[in-house]
Structure 1
Amino acid sequence: MRRTLFLSIALALQVAAGAAAADPARAATQAIAAQPLDSALNALSRQTGLQFVYSAQVAGNPRSPGVQAGLSADAALARLLSGTGLRYRYLNATTVTIEADTGGTPTSSLPDAAAPSLTAATPMAPTAEGMGAQNLETIQVTGSYSRSLEQAVDLKRANIGFSDSIVATDVADFPEQNLAEALQRVPGVTIERSKGLGTKVNVRGLPSEYTLVSINDLATASGSGGRDVEFDMFASEIIQQVTVQKSPTAADEEGGIAGAVKISTARPFDYKERKLVLSAEGAHNSISEEVDPRFAFLAADTWGDWGGLVSFSKAKRTNRTDSTSGINFRPMSRFLGASGTRGTQAAAVLARDAGVNVQNRTNTDETNLIVFQDKVGDRVYLNEQDKWGATASLQYQPSSTFSVTFDAMLGGYDTTEDEYDAAAYSASSRSTLDTIHDYDATTLAEYGMVVLRDVSYTATQHEMLSKERINKTDYSQYSVALDWKGEDWQVDAMAGFSGAEKTSDFSNLKHVAYAPSRTRWTGRSGETVPSAASNGFDMYNSPDKYLFEAYETTLEKVKDDKYAAQVNVTRMLDLAFLPALHSVKFGARYTDKSKQRQYGELKITGPAAGDSAWVNKRTLADSPLQWISDIVPGGDYSIKDLDWQQVSNDYARSAFRYPGFHTPFDAGQYYQVDEKVTSLYAMTDFAFDIGSVPVTANAGVRYVDTAVTSFGYHPIQRPDGSTGYTDTPVSKDGSYDDLLPSLNMTAELAHGLLLRAAASKTMMRPALTDIAYKRTASWSSFRFTDGNPDLKPTYAKQWEVGLEQYLDNGALLAASYFRKNIDGVVINSFTGIVPDVAVYNANGSLNGIYDFDVYQPVNAKGAYQVDGVELVAQLPLGMFHPLLDGFGINANYTMLDSSLAGESSLGIRTPMPGLSEKTWNLTAYYENSRFDARVSYNHKDEYVESIGYDMYPIWRDAYGQLDVSIGYRITDNLKVSLKGINLTNEITSGYTMDPSFPTMYEASGRRISLGLRADF
């Protein structure tokens, strides 16, 4: 009969207790008589606090030799296994597998830097967390990439559910700029990039808001207002382990539809001796030509029953991005629906130059199928970041069965982004069609669409925009965790706080010139040139033509807080009438989350408050101008052979903000959302045989009860036709509850060959910003966007099955197939019209009276179906031939297929926005005791980024990036490294519906860094 023993941690015998508390790795054992192996391991477990995991089908139950008193735990274990043909291997600091000896080296005989300490704070609780799935503690690995991969494979194997992990070396010793970029190497994980920086994480191609993120078991606030976490604010150096849990158990906090990213920071008893790590590097960006510093340190020590750890990381980043963008489709209803000659002239030009006869100019079902370019912009971004993060941990561990830990994580992420934009807005409110030089009625003929490729317009709005975005985010997290492991009972509890405060200060200095122009698509973007009509001009070199319109400012403050408390209780069982039942676990969790948002905007139009003396009088030439090649570091605009002059943001802030100026908050824009969640769960662990196949299973159910209060000012329309907000705040309560079942199973079909299966129901709550009372106006698009307090969660019913072959030396081959049926997806939908809204120009004059469409987030009817295949290969090549010792590959591939979403109001069927059908990562490496080298390529296939005007799918092109890392250990304690990010200088690009209609072309350059790391 197969036995999988999860030998519970017991209190050490009185004689050994003191020594075990001080250093369990060297604790003296009592004598153990010769006896069957399972009984001997039980005795050793009670003495040392170790847990042992093994299959009796493979290991058998041989009679072990006796062990004399006074041996260390490692020596006693080696003695017990002597002559049995078995070896041992650590999964983490207190959990050990017993397996057939294939000639490998037991963990304990590895160098001290690579072997986990037996003094780690919280041992793995397999029965409590789904056979070891959830509470795997940080594994410290220093300087060995292959060892970090092997540890990650151990974590995957021990987990009852589907998961993948990266540990210290793979997190912090690869060429990455933040935590998001470290996670892109996990199977099934891709990232969203913005101006050369990884920002958000997608698990299995699903949108980032479908992923639940926690740090030290506390769901994380980031100030975004959504459920997604802004990973770019977290420094990778302060993170020690990340596990991406893809199939939840009932003990998990809802699970996440895409998955759960579980982040762990280091604790003092993770190290068996005093530890000090220092690192520093400088990184050069190829476009900005700036060198950015970055440094980090970690210090940990223990004294008796106490331990302390602190870590700190600080980095600056200056990155320049050159881009053409904004070249989206605009429906011809913009011109055809206009009153007066604008609409009639547009119809006449369409008939004359394109042979398109419009039957009804006010019928948007007809006019939305005729499209032209919205805007062409040449833009330069300069993004400067100042980021720091720190962790602290204080731990009390009087024995290997009990610990109390206080963890703290603090950080700040400040960014200043300057954007200098020379743009031509084809859809100007003064303009209409003049001449159609080229049109396309064939590319999108299946949708009945005509695209105007090359058009002259009567009065294009040319814009010179100097934009400045200053974002400041402060985040903090504090938690206290208690872990106690008795012989039959195990208890762990946590209470904590996670909070973020974010301030966003935006300004836009806007100069405008109206004149005829010609705008057209080019091979990779678009361009605007003077038209043949009179009064055309060179938009890049005529500063005297541009008139001041406004210096626009907005200010937003977001406070995002979450309090949480939970307790988990496990009862270990050994029932004669039901031997397969190994344990039961139950627990409760309570969270209280709140988001507050304040917002205001103000336009400066003159040298004093309320003064409009500059509007349409002051020109761009009246301000000191600088060439773009001088205003930002790095020289010439790299996308086109262009140079132009603009006002620097430094000058704009000092010259246009008059004394005493501030952007006031608008009381009507304030909102607050409070969410309280109570969760209860129960689950069981089983181990049994089906024929000759050993099986482990975890089954459970989670009950979730949620209460929501949305508080704010409700948008109204006054009798005179103007819009506003209620005079007093209003609130609305909502609630929902549900049962979330889960089942995870593994079957060991042969030695090292696991069949894994999982099924569950999961949920993701709507973003707090979506359920708030608020109304946001887009005056140029004639649209209001309201919140929706009645939103419900998005649910998924999902299952997965896979095969995993575990080989020697950490090698792994795995394949799995999964399916997700997702209901209640939140989309923005047209919900009404506000008639007769007055729109005003910057100088206060009336622009016109318009009907505004109202859009709200709603739960879409129907469901998505997402199917996927995931392949993983991790192979140390030395297993094939001695000459390949030190070489290896780590590769993964994910392929998705989704039902079409149909979010387009034109009925154009598209995949779920954000879902990429094919992603893959490949890392090839070599390392020895002194030298290591890694080459990594990650690829994300094209995906729908958004739906323009809820009609036209906008695609992001496939993107691949090559990163390289080379390291040399000068001494045992000192290592130098050279790293490169995006060495091939890949371009980010996109298109609307067809690649012949590009929307953006963005270059962010490559980064080369040189670093030094010291370990003591």
Structure 2
Amino acid sequence: MKVFCRHRAAALSAASMSVLAFVMPSHAEMMGDTETVVVSGYRQSLEKAVDIKRETIGFSDSIIATDIADFPEQNLAEALQRLPGVTIERTRGLGTRAAVRGLPTEFTQVTINNLATASGNGGRAVDFDMFASELMQRITVHKSPTAADEEGGIAGSIAIRTARPFDFTGLKLVGSAEGAYNSISEALDPKYSVLASNTWGAWGVLVSASMGDRTNRTDSNSGINFRPMFRFLEASAPRNTQAAAVLARDAGVVVKNMKDRNETGRIIFQDKVGDRIYLDKQHKWGVSTSLQYKPSDSFSVSFDALFGGYKPHQDTYDAAAYSASSKSTLQTIHAFDNKTLSEYGMVVLRDVSYTATQHEFLSTEYVNKTDYRQFGLDMDWQTGAWKISALAGYSGANSSHDYGNTKHVAYKPTRTRWTEKGGETIPSADPNTFDMYNTPKAYLFEAYETTYEEVADDKYAAQAQVNRAFNLDFFPALSSVDLGMRYTNTAKERNYGEEKIQGPTRGSTAWLNVRTLADSTLVKASDIVGGGAYSVRDISWAQIPNDYARATFRPAGFVSPFAPDGYYKVQEEIFSFYGMANFDFHIASVPVSVNAGGRYVDTTVTSAGYHQIQTSNGGTGYTSAPVSSEGSYKEFLPSFNAHADLWDGLVLRAAASQTLMRPALTDLAYKRTASWNSFRFTDGNPGLKPTYADQWEVGLEKYFDNGALVSGSYFFKRVAGVVRSALTGTVKNVTKYNANGSVDGVYDFDVYQPVNADGSYDVNGFEIAAVVPFGMIHPWLEGFGINANYTLLDSSLTGQSIINIPTPPVGLAKNTFNLTLYYENGPFEARASYNYKDRYVESIGYEMYPIYRSAYGQLDISASYRIDEHFQIELKGINMSDTPTKGYTIDPSYPTMYEFSGRRISLGLRAEL
């Protein structure tokens, strides 16, 4: 008899797993005349992962796909959130970046096929949404580096691996097609994937490709941030005196010193209240190829190539009221709150009428494009007691970002107040008030604002490593020694420019203060983007479609010219040398394995940019050519990893290391940028040093005979040299201009620069994980199981509120957990996964007020049915809980954001040979 069940190409482990080989279909077990092929679905993949974890030195977690199109989430970031200690940043319903153990996303090192990933942005963080997840076969999060790892990142490192032909046996053909539906945009998006792989003797070739679209609409009531009263009180009379009088009359607040920001910064009113509809359209494609020569298990050479493109196009339609306009002040305070934040001495004006709120209709378009490519040559050779490996490769990305914003403005007295979901603006009692949503003739054209940016990101790397095995009578514990070196060269160049168009020809202001919103074609905002009515509030408004705006206000072929202050080029050259020793021995009857080593890194940074200078007429200008500056540093980074098999499936694991994360390239850039509304210049700093962490971790893991696992660990990190923005100087007598070209005034501008902060802070926490097949509890539950993890984080770091409001570290969520319930029975499989991330500080407004992203939980589901050995149908649902994204300032009674991105449901068909 022959029992046959096709291997489902999926493994997603939220238990602490090590780097795994691909989980291949199980071999037949021959028992007399009976041949049995063991089922190898999601559960079986977890069991195999647990077995390999038991033999691994360090702490790590993995997601594995043995086939193509097999991650159920929308992209790699959302797949990573299933792992212990990994959380993600979400932007309008889509996971974008991954954070490990509560540290900033910039603290995570990301590689593809052991090459640092070029992503086309100006920082170290990688935007995972640009990569086609169907091309990736394995993702591993390393939390305890060895000396051979490229620094390791302070938070951890994410290693991505694409497929190779000898990962499969012989011919492999897989194809999939699916359609996905968004509940708000009501759009249907296609996605296609294909993989072809074959081996002929010692040679193998693999090609995989993916192409797909994503259309997602987000409705948002947002932008309702705190604004300190010094905005009005530091203005000239009568704006400041009227604001002070209204405060005393309506709220009983008597201002003692209008110039004391410690006093006026504690009197709060609403900033900008906006109702927005976002339409995100994304086109993504990727091709992965691999040519492999493998004449034996002891020798292999692989050439891997990865190409792709990512084209997100975002349209935003925004009806907003800017209470803090330069013409406005307080008129009437209808409601205020002096109790909720009284411990900080703060009074919040909850409901206010203003004399001249700036009402804006904004039709905004972002046209972005990123093209990436990667090539790598990898060799592994074992001869006798020697193992030799070598790597050479290149990773590059070019990106462009084209922004256009059509802005119409109306200054009118209106009333703005907080609501349960955010904020709203309504007519006031002033006879000159109006309905801001339905009076297009009151809005005057101000400008068609444009920016354009190009970034070129190139990384080259070469590495060689030699391993020597030993069997020494005089030192039997020493099993092997590794020596290696790596050279890395990274270059990032950026150009940027911006310009406002105010007339039918460039430089003309013919439309300024003449053309109204009513003079353009207006369409109901929800009709422009498609789908149903605006879902956050019961309102409707009409705006200018972006297609019409581009054709009408933007000259054909126009692109914002590059400006000197928008240019920089940073080049980083790194030489690394490392050595490791591996030991296997017994303490009493307990077997112990140890890996210990160190990595020496020598880094040189060269940064160039146009620098601002004082001109002969007393103004400011820029150097005629880029000016270069250089920085350097050398470091030794030790590492230690060990595990011991205590007894009866109980394993003790420990690790310690020093790691670093290099500064963001934008911070290293030798340049100056201006923030005119904030009266601030920001400089780069090529002399920045890395941020360092001394870390250790210890954990216990209990393995059961049926493949179950329960594990827990405690980790500690001491982080020093964090990069923070600091006031480093002042530029006097800077002329600031209004949008129409007139002089706004002459001011002193503060100069801020990134610096390595003094001192250190601690991050510590617990991680627990469990993989439990319920069949171990009762036979009736066979096929059911859970895969769960929980992380608790704490930190001694506090945010930098200049008025001393207690602020947790930016980005740190104290509690996160993931729970996957699965069921497998013959051809049917189903999974329900819920992930939760506690609240965290997203930013600090005006360097005073912590702005929180509220706790967020999301339910995703997937189900599949194998029709026969060649075809499988799959159903997936993302955000089935339809959870809104919310935020607030200091206290939930002051919401800043309320967004809906809707559910996403997809139906697909897979075919394989």
Distance 1:788 1:219 in 2: 23
Cα contact 1:865–1:899 (8 A) shared by 2: yes
The AA in structure 1 aligned to 2:352 is: V
Tell me the alpha carbon deviations over residues 706-750 of structure 1, each in whole angstroms, 9 at most, x when there is no partner: 000010111234465543322332110000011111111101111
TM-score, L = length of structure 1:
0.86
Aligned to 1:918: 815
Q: What SS is found at the alignment partner of 1:808?
A: coil
Distance 1:148 1:167 in 2: 9
Aligned to 1:356: 253
Q: What SS is found at the alignment partner of 1:603?
A: strand
Q: 1:328 to 1:163 in 2, by over 3 A?
A: same
Q: For 2:305, which of 408, 412, 423 is the aligned residue? A: 408
Tell me the alpha carbon deviations over residues 450-507 of structure 1, each in whole angstroms, 9 at most, x when there is no partner: 2111111111100000000011000111000000012200011100000111100001
The AA in structure 1 aligned to 2:745 is: G
Distance 1:426 1:434 in 2: 11
Asked if 1:964 is matched to 2:861, the reply is yes
Cα contact 2:18–2:58 (8 A) shared by 1: no
TM superposition shift of 1:984: 1.2
Number of residue pairs the alignment of both structures matches: 894
The AA in structure 1 aligned to 2:335 is: D
- Segment of structure 1 superposing worse, 957-966 or 832-841: 832-841
Distance 1:188 1:133 in 2: 13
TM superposition shift of 1:816: 0.3
The AA in structure 2 aligned to 1:700 is: G
Asked if 1:983 is matched to 2:880, the reply is yes
Distance 1:111 1:929 in 2: 7
The AA in structure 2 aligned to 1:736 is: Y
Cα contact 2:65–2:71 (8 A) shared by 1: no
Cα contact 2:212–2:283 (8 A) shared by 1: yes
Cα contact 2:17–2:61 (8 A) shared by 1: no
Q: What SS is found at the alignment partner of 1:158?
A: coil
Q: What SS is found at the alignment partner of 2:891?
A: coil
Asked if 1:184 is matched to 2:81, the reply is yes
Distance 2:817 2:147 in 1: 30
Asked if 1:487 is matched to 2:384, the reply is yes
The AA in structure 1 aligned to 2:22 is: T
Distance 1:659 1:443 in 2: 54
Asked if 1:314 is matched to 2:211, the reply is yes
Q: Which one has more relative contact order, counting CA pairs under 8 Å at least 6 apart?
A: 2
Q: For 1:473, which of 363, 370, 373 is the aligned residue? A: 370
Distance 2:8 2:359 in 1: 62
Q: What SS is found at the alignment partner of 2:534?
A: coil
Aligned to 1:11: none
The AA in structure 1 aligned to 2:507 is: G
Q: For 1:838, which of 735, 741, 755 is the aligned residue? A: 735
Q: 1:720 to 1:440 in 2, by over 3 A?
A: farther
Distance 1:114 1:575 in 2: 45
Asked if 1:658 is matched to 2:544, the reply is no
Distance 1:135 1:1012 in 2: 30
Q: What SS is found at the alignment partner of 1:681?
A: strand
Distance 1:157 1:109 in 2: 30
Tell me the alpha carbon deviations over residues 15-67 of structure 1, each in whole angstroms, 9 at most, x when there is no partner: xxxxxxxxxxxxxxxxxxxxxxxxxxxxxxxxxxxxxxxxxxxxxxxxxxxxx
Q: What SS is found at the alignment partner of 1:240?
A: strand
Distance 1:713 1:154 in 2: 56
TM superposition shift of 1:140: 4.2
Q: What SS is found at the alignment partner of 2:58?
A: coil
Asked if 1:747 is matched to 2:631, the reply is no
Asked if 1:675 is matched to 2:572, the reply is yes
Q: 1:234 to 1:765 in 2, by over 3 A?
A: same
Matches within 5 A, 1:140-219: 140=24, 144-168=41-65, 172-219=69-116
Aligned to 1:794: 691
Matches within 5 A, 1:987-998: 987-998=884-895
Distance 1:328 1:852 in 2: 24
Q: What SS is found at the alignment partner of 1:651?
A: helix
Q: What SS is found at the alignment partner of 2:129?
A: helix
Tell me the alpha carbon deviations over residues 323-373 of structure 1, each in whole angstroms, 9 at most, x when there is no partner: 011111111111111122112222222222222222221222222121211
Q: 1:115 to 1:832 in 2, by over 3 A?
A: closer
Aligned to 1:564: 461
Distance 2:296 2:258 in 1: 80
Q: What SS is found at the alignment partner of 1:986?
A: coil
Cα contact 1:138–1:265 (8 A) shared by 2: no
Matches within 5 A, 1:861-872: 861-872=758-769
TM superposition shift of 1:808: 2.4
Matches within 5 A, 1:193-272: 193-272=90-169
Cα contact 2:608–2:671 (8 A) shared by 1: no
Aligned to 1:428: 325
TM superposition shift of 1:777: 2.1
Matches within 5 A, 1:273-672: 273-672=170-569
Q: For 1:875, which of 751, 764, 772 is the aligned residue? A: 772
Cα contact 2:572–2:604 (8 A) shared by 1: yes
Aligned to 1:765: 662
- Segment of structure 1 superposing worse, 135-144 or 762-771: 135-144
Asked if 1:138 is matched to 2:35, the reply is no
Distance 1:213 1:660 in 2: 37
TM superposition shift of 1:135: 6.8
Distance 1:950 1:445 in 2: 19
The AA in structure 2 aligned to 1:881 is: H
Distance 1:502 1:608 in 2: 28
Distance 1:378 1:615 in 2: 25
Distance 1:972 1:398 in 2: 31
Q: What SS is found at the alignment partner of 2:831?
A: strand
Q: 1:692 to 1:274 in 2, by over 3 A?
A: same
Cα contact 1:171–1:237 (8 A) shared by 2: yes
Q: What SS is found at the alignment partner of 2:54?
A: helix
Aligned to 1:692: 589
Aligned to 1:826: 723
Cα contact 2:9–2:70 (8 A) shared by 1: no
The AA in structure 2 aligned to 1:917 is: K
TM superposition shift of 1:444: 1.5
Asked if 1:1005 is matched to 2:902, the reply is yes
TM superposition shift of 1:782: 2.4
Tell me the alpha carbon deviations over residues 891-922 of structure 1, each in whole angstroms, 9 at most, x when there is no partner: 00000011132422222232221110000000
Give ranges in structure 1 of 5+ residues lacking alignment.
Answer: 1-107, 117-131
The AA in structure 2 aligned to 1:138 is: F
- Segment of structure 1 superposing worse, 964-973 or 779-788: 779-788
- Segment of structure 1 superposing worse, 248-257 or 724-733: 724-733
Q: What SS is found at the alignment partner of 1:995?
A: coil
The AA in structure 1 aligned to 2:729 is: G
Q: 1:994 to 1:133 in 2, by over 3 A?
A: closer
The AA in structure 2 aligned to 1:307 is: G
Distance 1:319 1:687 in 2: 54
Distance 1:1013 1:417 in 2: 31
Q: 1:691 to 1:159 in 2, by over 3 A?
A: same
Aligned to 1:123: none
Cα contact 2:17–2:49 (8 A) shared by 1: no
Q: 1:671 to 1:206 in 2, by over 3 A?
A: same
The AA in structure 2 aligned to 1:147 is: Q
Q: 1:967 to 1:339 in 2, by over 3 A?
A: same
The AA in structure 2 aligned to 1:496 is: G
Distance 2:555 2:371 in 1: 29
TM-score, L = length of structure 2:
0.96
Q: 1:974 to 1:622 in 2, by over 3 A?
A: same
Q: What SS is found at the alignment partner of 2:241?
A: helix
Distance 2:269 2:9 in 1: 63
Asked if 1:974 is matched to 2:858, the reply is no
Radius of gyration: which is bigger? 1
